[in-house]
Amino acid sequence: MKLFSKHTNVLPGFGPTLGFTIFYLCLIVLIPLSALVFKTAEISWQEFLEVVTDQRVLASYKVTFGAALVAAAINAVFGLLTAWVLVRYRFPGRKLIDALVDLPFALPTAVAGITLATIYSHNGWMGRLLEPLGIKVAFTPLGIMVAMIFIGLPFVVRTVQPVIEEIDSELEEAAACLEANRFQTLLRVIFPLLLPSLLTGFALSFARAVGEYGSIIFIAGNMPMISEITPLLIITKLEQFDYTGATAIATVMLLASFLMLLVINLLQKWSRKYAE
Amino acid sequence: MSLPAPPHKRVTAADGPTVTEPALVRWLLIAIALTFLILFLALPLVAVFSQAFEKGMAVYVAALTEADTLSSIKLTLLTAAVAVPLNLFFGVSAAWAIAKFSFPGKNLLTTLIDLPFSVSPVISGLIYVLVFGLQGWLGPWLQEHDIKIVFAVPGIILATIFVTFPFIARELIPLMEAQGRDEEEAAMVLGATGLQTFFRVTLPNIKWGIMYGVILCNARAMGEFGAVSVISGHIRGMTNTVPLHVEILYNEYNFTAAFAVASLLAFLALITLVIKTIAEWKVRATLS
Amino acid sequence: MSVKRTLLAVAVTALSTLSTIPAMAADISLLNVSYDPTRELYVDFNAAFAKYYKQKTGDNVTIKQSHGGAGKQARAVIDGLEADVVTLALAYDIDAIAAKGLIKPGWQKELPHNSSPYTSTIVFLVRKGNPKGIKNWDDLVKPGMSVITPNPKTSGGARWNYLAAWAYARHQPGGNDAKAKEFVTRLFKNVPVLDSGARGSTNTFVQRGLGDVLLAWENEAFLAVRELGPDKFDIVTPPESILAEPPVTVIDKVADKRGTRKVAEEYLKYLYTDEGQKIAAKHYYRPINAKIPTKLAKVKKLYTIDKDFGGWQKAQKAHFSDGGTFDQIYR
């Protein structure tokens, strides 16, 4: 509807800002990324398909995307809970916890990986407790998931948090006046409001986890067909000086990322419409 | 990744029973959330600090003041000092164009800006090697003119700019879209110039968004490991950033020093907390 | 428009200013690009060489070091890391640099002993007292044994591990390639974790307490014992192993461009002097000069890459390239 009510925009600066945006985008992101595609184009379609559908590569997609999916789902549940608790409730240490959420951004991924491996290996703080129960985390696909949960959590919390902050309390009061019980209010009124941002957080955390390398290799065990992630295979190809093989797999991952992000942006559009 | 709004209309437990859960449920939820966060976030942090201080304060300080560590800290600060302002300028100008105007292809542009978020760090280092490396597009020309990009400081900065590219733009776009353009239009009608409008009207409205973006961008810029590792060349004392230096120390079986240096970056997260708390407190102060 | 141009100018100036920083050193500087386990060796060696060169010529020479996985390091040189000399884990990686024209062909004949001033071999690091009684390669394939080694696809050291096991099996009575393949397959079924590099594996074995035995470079094993606890580990030198020859060479293109050829060549030759050999021996490498004393145990039989595998190119293709014998283990 807005499309038709559009009037002439009196604000200046559209040309320079858009120009600079596109220029900088091309310089930093698009031209370098296109190098990836050009490098891959050195091999034929058939070779390309052979590389990216090799048994071991397929197994690595399964491990990487599977673990990322589960990690993102866990992050969605606990990230939503965390955001809710942080915004709505008052308890000692709340500020500290709020700050802690950004930790995975600041800690170098290698440190995160080494630390997680230390904690979850069989002589570590958590490993010692879990291993007698028959749960092995370090050097199994479970370890990959733990690392992915770690790096993805802030995305969910920080996407959902502002939306919770903005929820109008009148909505809840109205629902309560209409004799809805608290659970019904949460489920029918609040949750639909949060869903778009929650999905966005889920998708961002998923996309980040799929590409992660630094923290995962320390805890994954890296066994072919079992706990080998796709970025590791890219590195493996590079070690053999097989640049085109590496860029072929990288291109597949890039396409996956791009599709992921398109979905994210559609979700956000939907979320904005929903909010109006 | 959008801006947490100033907490002006925060609903608290004190507002009455109609808009919150029973106390039991509240505490249960808090307990679950805390357990999760302690397991996944606090525990690694404690592990970093406990290993860093394992051999006492003297060893900790010695590790931080060692020459190679200092040069890595310098390089990391330099990298952030170049990458963050460039991305800030880009973020503001992209947000202005995208949020205040409508044009075809806007969705695609937004998606492309997001792209670096989800590109594997392994790939984001590699692409610059493909462009500027000796076997790459510009490599031979650069070598002839004796300009070093990859395996030198400019490459490290470029890779850092890439991985932190979307942070500030991503914070500002939704915020500026939500604010619309009425205020700016009013200012223009009243005769303000474009720059005046931006600095007097827009900037005050988005300054907290900018700050959030800068904080996140800075944290990631200083902490990035994967992409920088591919492009740094690991020359001791010259092209090692703090995260790379941590890995080197660890590989030298110098675990205490490795975690001591890593704890610096963890401190960064804590400093972020302080800045953010002050910011929120100021917002509340201006509103009341 | 002008804003854009100014910004561009600023960016370009900033980049080019920054890019000159590494080239600013007034005295002679060399960059030695090496693999992981040589860190401690070259700290000592560089100091000794700088002193020697100062005495001889009066020039100050500073040697910058870069360490990392051998393959990654070779790639960095190929992609433009301006190394005057490389000191890597295997000839294969240097061959890859030569293939791009940065080093003249026939580089391995430039210096004595295949351009390898020191050698090493593969040994077993076991828990103190050797509770599992590991003495030879056979013991590693026993059921229930847990063996730690890095991934041969990403680690040069691990390739030596793999080939040592292969050579051992093939030289047993009735041994052939099929038997050797079966042997390494059984060996790798006992490997619970494949780290990407040698130091990663050492940390897995030592810090995480995983595995009964670590396959390692001899010098790495000694260093790990010294650094991480002489009371916790023992080194078992198997009666048969492989002769690992880590080669060194000057990167011709870079040395000629930077005018450092003379000092770079001098640097590598110094590795062959008594002083250089003593430093290598001190860091648990095997000096090639038999007169230099070493405390390392004699290995009865050492297989070599050239005689037993027909050189690195062939070995790499047969065993470690995609679809090679190593990949077949995990099919």
Cβ <8 Å between B89 and C22: no
Q: Give A104-140 pLDDT, tens digit per residue.
A: 877 888 888 889 988 998 888 898 999 889 888 888 9
> Residue B154 and residue C36: Cβ atoms within 8 Å?
no
Query: Per residue in C171-228, pLDDT tens?
Result: 999 999 999 999 999 999 999 999 888 888 988 898 888 999 999 999 999 988 988 8
Higher pLDDT, A162 or C181: C181
Enumerate the residues of chain A whose CB falls inside 8 A of the CB of residue B103: 14, 18
Separation CA C91–CA C95 (nearest Å): 6
Per-residue model confidence as pLDDT tens digits over B96-147: 999 888 888 888 898 888 888 878 888 898 999 999 998 888 888 888 888 8
Name the minimum distance, in Å, from the CA of C162 to any CA of chain A: 16
Tokens 């493909």, located at residue: B130
pLDDT value for B5: 40
**More reliable by pLDDT, A264 or C34:** C34
Q: Residue B287: which pLDDT band, with cuts at 50, 70 and 90?
A: low
Q: In angstroms, rounded to a whole number, what is the distance separating the alpha carbons of residues B180 and B194?
A: 16
Q: Which of C19, C23, C36 sits opposite B251 (nearest CB)?
A: C36
Nearest CA in chain A to C209: A123
In whole numbers, what is the pLDDT of chain B averaged over residues? 84
Is the predicted pLDDT of residue B12 greater than 80, yes or no? no
Tell which CATH architecture fits domain C119-244+300-329. Answer: 3-Layer(aba) Sandwich (3.40)
Q: What is the pLDDT of residues C243-294, one digit of tens each?
A: 999 999 999 999 999 999 999 999 999 999 999 999 999 999 999 998 998 8
B234 neighbourhood in chain C, CB within 8 Å: 66-68, 76
Instruction: Establish whether this prediction's ipTM goes over 0.95.
Output: no
Q: Which of A129, A126, A6 is nearest to B185 (CA)?
A: A6
Q: Looking at CA atoms only, how far is residue C194 from chain A in angstroms?
A: 5
- Indicate left, alpha or beta for B44 from its phi (over 0: left) and psi (-120 to 50: alpha): alpha
Top pLDDT among A177 and A156 is at A156
Q: Give the burial class of B249: count Cβ atoms within 10 A of its Cβ; 0-12 exposed, 13-18 middle, 19 or more buried.
A: buried
pLDDT value of position B7: 41
Q: Does B129 touch chain C (CB under 8 A)?
A: yes
**Do C80 and B236 lie within an 8 Å CB cutoff?**
no
φ/ψ of residue B181, rounded to 5: -130, 15
The alpha carbon of residue C317 is apart from the nearest alpha carbon of chain B, in Å, by 23
Domains of chain A: 44-275 (1.10.3720.10)
3-state secondary structure of B4: coil
Do residues B115 and A258 make contact, with C-beta atoms less than 8 angstroms apart? yes
Residues of C within 8 A of B233 (CB-CB) are: 66, 76, 81
pLDDT digits (tens, 9 = 90+) for B227-273: 898 888 888 888 999 999 988 888 888 888 999 998 888 887 677 76
pLDDT of A26 reads 93
Q: How far apart are CA A172 and CA C242, in angstroms?
A: 75
β-pairing verdict for C233-236 and C118-127: antiparallel
Q: pLDDT by residue (tens digit) across B56-71?
A: 899 899 989 999 999 9
Are residues B133 and C79, on separate chains, in Cβ contact within 8 Å? yes
pLDDT above 90: residue A74: yes
- The tokens describing B146, both together, are 């004796």
> pLDDT at residue B44 above 80?
yes
Short-list C221, C69, A106, C309, CA closest to B276? A106
Test mutation, B1, B9, B100, chain A, max A CBs within 10 A = B1
Lowest mean pLDDT among B2-6, B32-36, C20-24: B2-6
Mean pLDDT of chain A: 85
Lowest mean pLDDT among A237-241, B160-164, C169-173: A237-241
Least CB–CB distance from A159: residue in B1, B39, B161: B1
In the numeric block, which tokens belong to residue A126?
């958590």
**Chain C partners within 8 Å of B143 (Cβ):** 80
Residue A164's pLDDT is 84
- A107, B265 contact by CB (below 8 A): yes
Name the packing angle between helices C2-20 and B67-100 (round to 10°): 170
pLDDT band for position C331 (cuts 50, 70, 90): confident
Instruction: Look over chain C and give the mean of its residue pLDDT values, rounded to a whole number.
Output: 89
Q: Give the percent of chain A with pLDDT over 70.
A: 95
Residue extent(s) of CATH 3.40.190.10 domains in chain C: 3-116+245-287, 119-244+300-329
Question: What is C3-116+245-287's CATH superfamily?
Answer: Periplasmic binding protein-like II (3.40.190.10)
pLDDT computed for residue B2 by the predictor: 41
Contact at CB, C96 and A225, closer than 8 angstroms: no
C-chain residues within 8 Å CB-CB of B253?
A: 223-224, 227-228
Residue B212 confidence (pLDDT): 74
Query: Is the pLDDT score of A96 beyond 90?
Result: no
pLDDT by residue (tens digit) across A23-46? 999 999 999 999 999 999 889 999
pLDDT over 70 percentage in chain C: 92
Yes or no, beta carbons of B243 and A111 under 8 Å apart: yes
Nearest Cα to C80, choosing from B235, B223, A247, A43? B235
CA–CA separation, A149 and A73 (whole Å): 9
| Residue C266 pLDDT | 95
Residue A5 confidence (pLDDT) above 60: no
Chain B residue closest to C224 (CA)?
B253
Strand partners, C30: C63
Which residue stretches of A167-229 are H helix?
169-177, 182-184, 191-211, 216-220
Distance from CA of A193 to the nearest CA of B (A): 15
HSE toward the beta carbon, residue A184, CA cutoff 13 A: 10
pLDDT value of position C203: 87
DSSP string of B223-286?
Answer: H--HHHHHHH--BTTTS--HHHHHHHHHHTT-HHHHHHHHHHHHHHHHHHHHHHHHHHHHHHHH
Q: Which of residues 304-323 of C touch A (CB under 8 A)?
A: 316, 320-322
Within 13 Å and on the Cβ side, how many CA atoms surround B153?
A: 24
Residue B11 pLDDT: 43
